[in-house]
Amino acid sequence: MTWFTFAILTALSVALYDTWVKKWFSHLTAYEMFAIPMANCVPLTLISLLFIEVPPLDRVFYVAFLVSLPFNGVPFFMYIKAIQISPLSLTVPYLAFTPVFMIATGFLVLNEMPDIWGIAGILAVCIGSYVLNIDPRNHSFLGPLRVMFKETGSWMMLIVSFIFSISAVLGKLAILHSSVMFFQMSFFAVLNILIVVIFLMFGKIRPSVFVRYPVKGLVAGIFFYGHIFFHGFGISMTKAAYMISIKRLSIVFGVILGGLVFHEENFLMRLLGSLLMFAGAVVILLMAG
């Protein structure tokens, strides 16, 4: 498989995860929405670790591992809160800004810089996400900016996008100083357990919620596991900003699923923006070096 295939599979996993969690768990608190998939993912990561050889680890790995914990935990919670309180089509598009931020963070942490075609593709993905938010009823080009400040889930997701631009490059740094499977499985086993335990200690989630949805919870955990599995291999094979740009095609899948499952408004305009994002992805795949 190429990095592009892994990135597409990551995008599909993310879109299915978003839709599944919003459909079946949005009546719960944001903490419980967040914790159920993580708890159900833990057994999968621990079982995987039984078959993974521990690579040589250095100081860079341990620093990147520890710093990555808060830089993943905080935005993941904000992510779930955003899709709980706002439509998928007004939240997930702002994740497209992550690879734009990563032009800077990738250079600072990994010394990676996209070429001119790569930057063009990244910007096309970002512009497409902007078009997704244009409301054809008021014909306002500045409408999406107003939506971002009025819609709580939208501005929250923009903050998530920036934090993910840091956590993604830290994760790749840790992978480069260990191995894909070891870091992805060990990191998310630790992160998921820590978050669930902390939420239980502070009374943010009810223990009974984990047994109330055994099948639906397991499916959510599988989607989350697929996300971290495919993400690790994809980002290890190419420049981080490129991989995250293709991963953000989850927005395209999310908009389609949002229209089909939740009957969200302005579906055609959001599909047009999605196609522009797809065009940016094609430029990255075929032209970027």
214-236 vs 152-176: helix axis angle to the nearest 10?
60
Q: Which regions in the chain score pLDDT beneath 70?
A: 1, 88-89, 132-148, 263-267, 289
pLDDT at 139: 52
Per the CB < 8 A criterion, the answer to whether 264 and 133 are in contact is no
pLDDT at 85: 83
Interacting residues of 214 by C-beta distance below 8 A, sequence separation 6+: none
pTM assigned to the model = 0.86
Phi, psi of 265 (to 5 degrees): -75, 170
Instruction: Give residue 127's domain range.
Output: 3-286
Number of H helices, E strands in the chain: 13, 0
Using CA atoms in the order 67, 98, 242, 271, what is the torsion angle rounded to 10 degrees?
150
pLDDT at 22: 87
Q: Find, among 253, 250, 247, 258, the residue nearest to 89 by Cα.
A: 258
- Per the structure, how many domains does the chain have? 1
pLDDT at 40: 97
